[in-house]
């Protein structure tokens, strides 16, 4: 546990922040006492999720430790797109140069092409979290390559899509015994899937939509790294050609490390609707290179080539960058959905303008609320002289989301780590 500060009420926090002005149609939805329903704690299926050891490795606490470290970087914004069934935040990192103001605002306005990577759908596939970790480490590095990547692109990384499954020791399912990988069109959606789908759709509706979407997995029995190639019958000839280009671009940076496109082909007779890649193909066609990547089980002693997560991470990122550079954005052959029916608990779409709160008297007396990253309201009040004073209902034990509203519209949201609350400024 990395939170060291214990609250003693009242807590006084001086706000030295810049605000985004939001004028999204969703904004009023975000300003409810419970912006996302808090579900009952569900019991995991005892047979499916019965690992008695300390889990598969790289657990939720490992992720939160890393988040605390990563959050120190000026190039990263730590956020949550929602929560799991058992209430664990679905952490999302946004990495780019020029976050304005550094780390404090939840959305960025940029025309940089976007790469979206999610990992750890299947809890036993711990290698996917290790690659995600190496990707984040690489992108936050001080090297010229990392700087250039941040300068040219924006990266969204969800390192743990199924934190309940990881904590419960499930092999492939979440706390409701659902395999999230093949539940992207389920009705109703699992909370995790609704949150990810919403994040995808908000990104696609932004000024800089997703160009490459990678879904990181690891296969137990195949001693190879490879992509699931979607055949032209289930996509298009054009897309199949682009997939081959993309895979070659990634292979270039890890010679011999990643298999050719034809190791595993799928969608040979039809287009499935259940996968994240289905969502991208069915709604956005060639505009998004959406692929599943399979790493290798590095616990298997008969597979000596396993591991090398750093090489894999760099190849995935540099290959994605090359692919985007080479191919200007495609006109979609599909009519994409106009708006997200899957709002996350704390998101909105930003438009323009930011300015110092302290210099703006118009925020005086505006209501604010403080939520946990999974949407539980823990405090609220009104701004007084740029200062929040509140008595938290419960002692915060993790990161918090601060929301400021005006006339039921969301003006600002900030990600806060509680032990910074005593610092001044934040
Ligand atoms: Zn998997």
Please state, in angstroms and rounded to a whole number, the distance separating the CA atoms of residues 203 and 191.
18
pLDDT at 253: 96
Average pLDDT taken over every residue of the chain: 74
Which residues of the chain does CATH 2.60.40 include? 11-32+348-420
pLDDT at 71: 81
The model's pLDDT over 216-240, given as tens digits with 9 standing for 90+, comes to 999 988 889 999 999 999 999 999 9
Average pLDDT over residues 316-334: 86
pLDDT tier, 74 (very low <50, low <70, confident <90, very high otherwise)? confident
Average pLDDT over residues 243-271: 95
Residue 229 Cα, ligand 1 centroid: separation in angstroms? 15
My answer on whether omega of the bond before 425 falls inside 30° of 0, hence cis, is: yes
Residue 94 tokens, joined: 């946004």
CB 122, CB 181: distance < 8 Å: yes
Residue 124 Cα, ligand 1 centroid: separation in angstroms? 8
Q: Which residue has the tokens 């993309």?
A: 246
Beta bridge partners of 350: 22
Dihedral pair phi/psi, residue 111, rounded to 5°: -105, 15
Distance set, CA 384 to CA 5, 259, 414 (Å)? 24, 60, 18
pLDDT tier, 396 (very low <50, low <70, confident <90, very high otherwise)? low
pLDDT at 113: 92
The helix/strand/coil state of 204 is helix
Residue 43 tokens, joined: 């019991």
Please state, in angstroms and rounded to a whole number, the distance separating the CA atoms of residues 90 and 254.
30
Q: What is the DSSP string of 206-224?
A: SSS-EEEEEEEEEESS--S
Residue 417 Cα, ligand 1 centroid: separation in angstroms? 32
Q: How many residues does the chain have?
A: 426
Q: Which CATH number fits domain 60-326: 3.40.640.10, 3.10.105.10, 3.40.630.10, 3.40.50.11440?
A: 3.40.630.10
Least confident window among 51-55, 188-192, 242-246, 270-274:
51-55
The model's pLDDT over 124-172, given as tens digits with 9 standing for 90+, comes to 999 999 999 999 999 999 999 999 999 999 999 999 999 989 988 888 9
Residue 63 Cα, ligand 1 centroid: separation in angstroms? 19
CB 276, CB 213: distance < 8 Å: yes
pLDDT tier, 65 (very low <50, low <70, confident <90, very high otherwise)? confident
Which residues of the chain does CATH 3.40.630.10 include? 60-326
Residue 56 Cα, ligand 1 centroid: separation in angstroms? 14
Q: Does residue 341 register a pLDDT over 60?
A: no
Fold annotation for 11-32+348-420: Immunoglobulin-like (2.60.40)
pLDDT at 232: 96
Cα dihedral 359, 362, 363, 364 sign:
positive
Task: Spell out which residues have Cβ within 5 A of ligand 1, the ion.
Answer: 122, 125, 217
Residue 346 Cα, ligand 1 centroid: separation in angstroms? 28
- Residues whose CB falls within 8 Å of the CB of residue 414, separated by 6 or more in sequence, listed in order: 17, 104, 105, 106, 401, 402, 426
Q: Which residue has the higher pLDDT, 282 or 29?
A: 282
Is pTM beyond 0.75? Reply is no
Least confident window among 59-63, 186-190, 264-268:
186-190
């Amino acid at each position: 546990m990395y939170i060291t500060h214990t609250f003693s009420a009242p807590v006084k926090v001086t706000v030295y922040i810049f605000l985004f002005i939001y004028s999204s149609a969703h904004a009023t939805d975000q300003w409810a006492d419970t912006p996302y329903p808090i579900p009952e704690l569900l019991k995991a299926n005892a047979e499916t999720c019965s690992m008695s050891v300390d889990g598969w490795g790289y657990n939720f606490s490992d992720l939160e430790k890393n988040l605390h470290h990563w959050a120190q970087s000026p190039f990263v914004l730590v956020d949550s797109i929602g929560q799991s069934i058992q209430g664990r935040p679905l952490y999302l990192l946004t990495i780019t140069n020029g976050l304005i103001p550094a780390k404090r605002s939840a959305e960025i306005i940029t025309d940089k092409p976007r790469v979206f990577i999610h990992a750890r759908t299947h809890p036993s596939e711990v290698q996917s979290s290790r690659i995600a970790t190496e990707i984040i480490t690489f992108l936050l590095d001080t090297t010229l390559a990392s700087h250039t990547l941040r300068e040219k692109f924006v990266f969204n990384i969800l390192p743990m899509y199924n934190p309940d499954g990881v904590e419960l020791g499930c092999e492939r399912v979440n706390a409701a015994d659902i395999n999230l990988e093949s539940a992207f069109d389920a009705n109703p959606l699992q909370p995790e899937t609704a949150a990810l789908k919403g994040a995808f759709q908000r990104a696609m509706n932004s000024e800089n939509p997703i160009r490459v979407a990678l879904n990181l997995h690891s296969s137990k029995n195949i001693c190879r790294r490879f992509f699931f190639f979607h055949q032209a019958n289930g996509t298009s000839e054009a897309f199949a050609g682009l997939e081959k280009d993309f895979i070659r671009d990634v292979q270039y940076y890890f010679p011999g490390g990643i298999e050719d496109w034809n190791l595993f082909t799928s969608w040979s007779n039809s287009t499935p609707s259940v996968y994240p890649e289905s969502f991208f193909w069915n709604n956005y066609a060639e505009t998004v290179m959406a692929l599943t990547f399979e790493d290798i089980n590095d616990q298997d002693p008969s597979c000596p080539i396993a591991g090398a997560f750093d090489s894999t991470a760099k190849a995935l990122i540099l290959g994605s960058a090359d692919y985007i550079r080479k191919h200007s954005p495609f006109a979609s052959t599909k009519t994409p959905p106009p708006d997200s029916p899957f709002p996350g608990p704390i998101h909105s779409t930003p438009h323009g303008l930011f300015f110092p709160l302290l210099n703006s008297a118009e925020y005086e007396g505006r209501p604010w609320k403080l939520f946990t990253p999974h949407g539980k309201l823990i405090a609220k009040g009104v701004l007084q002289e740029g200062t929040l004073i509140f008595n938290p209902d419960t002692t915060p034990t993790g990161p918090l989301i601060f929301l400021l509203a005006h006339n039921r519209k969301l003006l600002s949201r900030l990600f806060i780590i509680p032990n910074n609350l005593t610092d001044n400024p934040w």
